[in-house]
Structure 1
Amino acid sequence: MAAFPGQAAAQQADAVTTSEVGGVTLYSNWNIVQNVTKSPVHKTLIKAISAAGLVDELSASGPFTLFAPTDKAFAAIPKMTGWLMTPANSATLAEVLKFHVVPGRLSASDLYKKIKAGGGTAVLTTIAGEDLKLTEVQGNIRIEGTQGSVGFITGNDVEQANGMIHVINGVLMPTLG
């Protein structure tokens, strides 16, 4: 796999926080792409980011909040994942991935507050221009896309230099067409 910008950046001890995802330490002074590249549970996601041509966009200053589907989430929809990863479908793949990104640095606490303020539902507009619906189900944050797609946050508040990652167990689908 090709190296991503700044991947070999030296780790700074001052003000750097770490999070563990899949048994690997991720660093708050790395950007979203650098950390997703290192995550052992996001191999499909990083391949998709590269195939969709979104490396530079998700390496930019942001801030962004990424709802990052795991490899298991992509494996649960094998036909769709295979179709999206075909080079001819890279524009559609980019739409799907952008549907997992919202502007700003939103912590789980911020998300719970938005859900509460919305009377049990929060609506976030993605960088794709479509809305995600968030609700709380038995203390967990549920995220709904379109076409019945849904995911729950299974790992939260993975801080990045350019935003926040929340690990999710589903692939969210935008309106395609």
Structure 2
Amino acid sequence: MKKFLMAAAFTMAFGAAQAADIVDTAKAAGSFNTLVTAVQAAGLESTLKGPGPFTVFAPTDAAFAKIPKAKLDALLKDKAALTKVLTYHVVPGKVMAADVKSGDVKTVEGASVKVAVKGDKVMVDKAHVTKTDIAADNGVIHVIDTVLMPK
């Protein structure tokens, strides 16, 4: 019985140590509640839980709070527009901060974002990258302070 309990404890500890996907990593962080709600409303949750790899420029709840409430509420109800905005935040592949270079980067949405690297500061369109390299088992999250809007 004692061996069984030790094995069960080891299995639970090992299971808890596994990395999470992009969505679960964002949920666990606690500062991406609006983003997770938007991903679910757009029907993109299963995609971002998929094999990837993905690089996600993730706006925080504070970034979403910069959008007027009526405009954000309307966006959350318009699945096509919401999908366009959210996929504009995703780049195929896993791009770590050390690999980022200035230039245009094609997003999953189809358009490109402009990445500007100046010293240790990185901007994506008009958003500042505030934290980098949050690892997930299917990609990486870089935190941004502004919601990106496709042209």
Separation (CA, whole Å) in 2 of partners of 1:138 and 1:131: 22
SS at the partner of 1:30?
A: coil
Aligned length: 137
User: What are the within-5 Å matches in structure 2 for residues 1-177 of structure 1?
Assistant: 10-12=15-17, 29-78=19-68, 79-86=70-77, 89-111=78-100, 114-115=101-102, 122-137=103-118, 139-144=120-125, 150-175=126-151
* CA RMSD of superposed structures (Å): 1.5
Deviations 1:11-55 (A, max 9, x none): 23xxx6xxxxxxxxxxxx110011111221101000000000000
SS at the partner of 1:11?
A: helix
Gaps of 5+ in 1: 1-8, 17-28, 116-121, 145-149
Gaps of 5+ in 2: 1-13
Q: TM-score, normalised by structure 1?
A: 0.74
Q: TM-score, normalised by structure 2?
A: 0.86
Separation (CA, whole Å) in 1 of partners of 2:35 and 2:113: 19
Provide runs of 4+ in structure 1 moved above 3 Å: none
Counterpart residue number, 1:19: none
Separation (CA, whole Å) in 2 of partners of 1:80 and 1:174: 15
> Structure 1 or 2: larger helix share?
2
SS at the partner of 1:172?
A: coil
- Name the aligned partner's letter for residue 85 of structure 2: V
- Name the aligned partner's letter for residue 156 of structure 1: T
Q: CA deviation at 1:138?
A: 5.2
Separation (CA, whole Å) in 1 of partners of 2:15 and 2:104: 37
